[in-house]
A and B are shown apart, each in its own frame.
Chain A
Amino acid sequence: MSAERAKTAIPDAENGDALDGDAAEATSDEERLAVGLRHLRDLLEWNQVEEARRFVKELEARWPDAERVRHYAHVLAPPTSRSRPDVSARSREQEWNWLKEHGHEYPGCWLAIYGDRLIAADPDLQVVMAKTRETLGEEGALIHQQPGTPRST
């Protein structure tokens, strides 16, 4: 696919008229929406995110109740960052030191480390997560995937 093809598929969201290309053949409102969504996906695939952000606003103005349009408007909107003074800081130096010293002993495993303790090690992340919650409750571990092939037991 080329960027040129995407440019020819832009529907005119302002007055409902199609410009050309795919949009020119779209006769119903539903078809025009489908063309618009296809163009939006093309923009994303070609890494034209700012253009996609602008275009999704046009789609949103014309089809405010369309589920797919609302989804794209949501995921493409620039988010707001914020500091979290209510969440306390904690160094993970112990965990990373443990990994440096012992990580290689568990090839191919997901590891959960808390302080200088190994909480769980298993090739299946779900097993590691379950053991971590069982052991630590709401405390958070450092989760790390060790490269390599798991040893057979």
Chain B
Amino acid sequence: VNQDFTGRAKYLPDVQAVSGDLFVVVRCQVGDVPDTWDALLDTGSQWCILPPAITLALGYELPLDSEIRLHSRFGHHDGVLIRIPMRFAADEGEPAEVEATWFVSPDWPGPMVTGWKGCLERFRFAFDPRESDFYFAEY
């Protein structure tokens, strides 16, 4: 049952956000922008989701057409899937990176989400709720 991880970072539990409370917030970098962002870690989310304001801030355009419809607690949203690298920033050890698949919709009202397909499914990770530590490693 012993596991080895290459990176560790603090996560924030129960964060009040614009779109409601977020249970587990981790820090990640997206694309080639050096800043880190708050992101909801959600193993129940099909895809990573990039809010429109952050999509524009990263230098990407919002989609004019739609290729997929996402159903969420916010309702139905039309958007596209794109690939942008995502990296879990580390407080200790090594960051871990994946070429993640993101759902982008111009009317997504929720937070940035790190979801399962095309992202979390390719990491090993664990949480220590006592210390609010998030451990991760490549798959």
Contact = CB atoms under 8 A, between A and B. Distances in A.
Interface string B96-137: 111111000000000000000111011100000000000001
Contacts of A80: 98-99, 122, 139
A90 B10 CA distance: 11
A16 interface: no
B101 A76 contact: yes
Interface residues of A, number: 39
Contacts of A140: 29, 33-36
A8 interface: no
Given A75-B118, A132-B35, A83 B57 contact: no
Question: Which among B9, B27, B89, B123 has the greatest number of chain A C-beta atoms within 10 A?
Answer: B89
A89 B101 contact: no
Interface of A, secondary structure class, is mixed
B118 A45 contact: no
B24 interface: no
B131 to A, nearest CB: 12
A102 interface: no
B64 to A, nearest CB: 15
B46 interface: yes
B69 A93 contact: no
Contacts of B68: 41, 44-45
Nearest to A74: B83
A93 B10 CA distance: 8
Contacts of A139: 34
Contact of B38 (A84, A112, A144): A144
Interface of B: 6-7, 9-10, 12, 16-18, 27, 29, 33-38, 46, 53-54, 56-57, 67-69, 71, 81-83, 87, 89-101, 117-119, 121-123, 137-139
